[in-house]
Every structure is written in structure tokens, then in C-alpha cells.
Structure 1
């Protein structure tokens, strides 16, 4: 049986060892864990998600002599869309690594046509993202 306690809404598992009276007690039982605030944990059967796209998360209830774990369905927050800068960099990385960019920038004066191709590509990436975001 698993033992735990609730602290600020979080389930804190019981430790595998407890120091008591100058001794280390390995795998302490209920007689040691109970006075420390740990209670047996009972899990409800995990249900199926009823709405596509939703997820399940554990919900904890202190019943006094035990902690019950049930499940609640929720709609996760959509991931934020990457910023303009992040989207531009992602497109640039499709063709140029950071090392490639540094080499091109370092040799800007000695290989102007290579730099121009790189710069044109970067400008096209920026225009592409601006159009996608409606910034044009």
C-alpha cells in the first residue's frame, strides 16, 4: 500500500527511510508513517476521456483516514504560437545552421555572392513570416 500526505494540494509520497530515535528505519510501516501525517492512498479507476482533445489529471481528497485519488477531465491550454523572431529563426535553420551563419558573416567581404544568397534567404524568411502573421 502506498502512503502519502497532502501539502498545498500536492501529493507527497512517504519516504523510503525515516530517522527516528537515532536510528534509520528502512521501508517504514503505517505505525511510523501515520504519526508523521502520511495516510494510505487509494486510486479510483482511471476513466476514458469523454471529449476529444481533453486530458485527465489527478484530483486528491483527504478523507481523514486515507487519501483518495480520482480523475478530472480538463481542456489543456493551447501552446502559445512562437514569436515572429522564433518563426524566422526556425525557417533560417532549415537551410543554415548557426555555424554556417557565423562562417558566412565572417567571410562577408571575401565571398560576397555567398553572403548575398544568405541575406536574400533571410529576407525571404522574414517576408514569409510577416505575411503569415498579417504584419505586411
Structure 2
């Protein structure tokens, strides 16, 4: 194994000597696992040593309220569960040549509208 260092800190580990200035170190020792710390490898006095940096705590995210969708957004979302925009446009474009397909689409769209209306009524109460 070969390493690249900068100010004693190991900045790269390579399987072969791909670049100039790499140091052949043989086997890299495994760091000790310390909860709450990240091992950072350094090359000092001809060997690899580890220093341990505290893992910064992630701030707890405040739960954001989910914005309520408008009636139109709910209808479109429900329609998209079954029909993509391309599918919908094709059906609308061919409504006269494929009336059965259009009727199935239209019935589904109407049921989506009713579902959205009921959901909005339920949210009001």
C-alpha cells in the first residue's frame, strides 16, 4: 500500500505507486473504534498513527409541518398514481378514436376529484 501525505496527515491511500512522491508503507493498521470519534490517520516517524476527532453532533431537525395540498394539487397527484402526463395527453388527444379508453380515464379523474373534495371537507372539521 502507498500513501500520500500533507503535513503528516494521510490524504490518500493507493494500491500501487500511481504517482510520484507516494510512500510505500506495506499494511495499514486498523484504527481503534471509539464511539463518538472519527479516526484520522497520520504518518509520523515512519509509521501510521491515529488521532481521534469528535464527531460533531447533528442538530435535531425540527419537524416541519407538511403543507396542505390544494384541491387541484390533490386531484393531479391522485391522477398521476395511474396516468403519467404523457399517458393523459395521449388519451385526451385520441378521445374520439378511442372512446372507451377516454371514458375509463374520465371516470377515474372524476373519482379523484370526489376523493380530493371529501379529503378537504374532512380537513376543515
The TM-score normalised by the length of structure 2 is 0.47
Which of the pair is proportionally richer in strand? 1
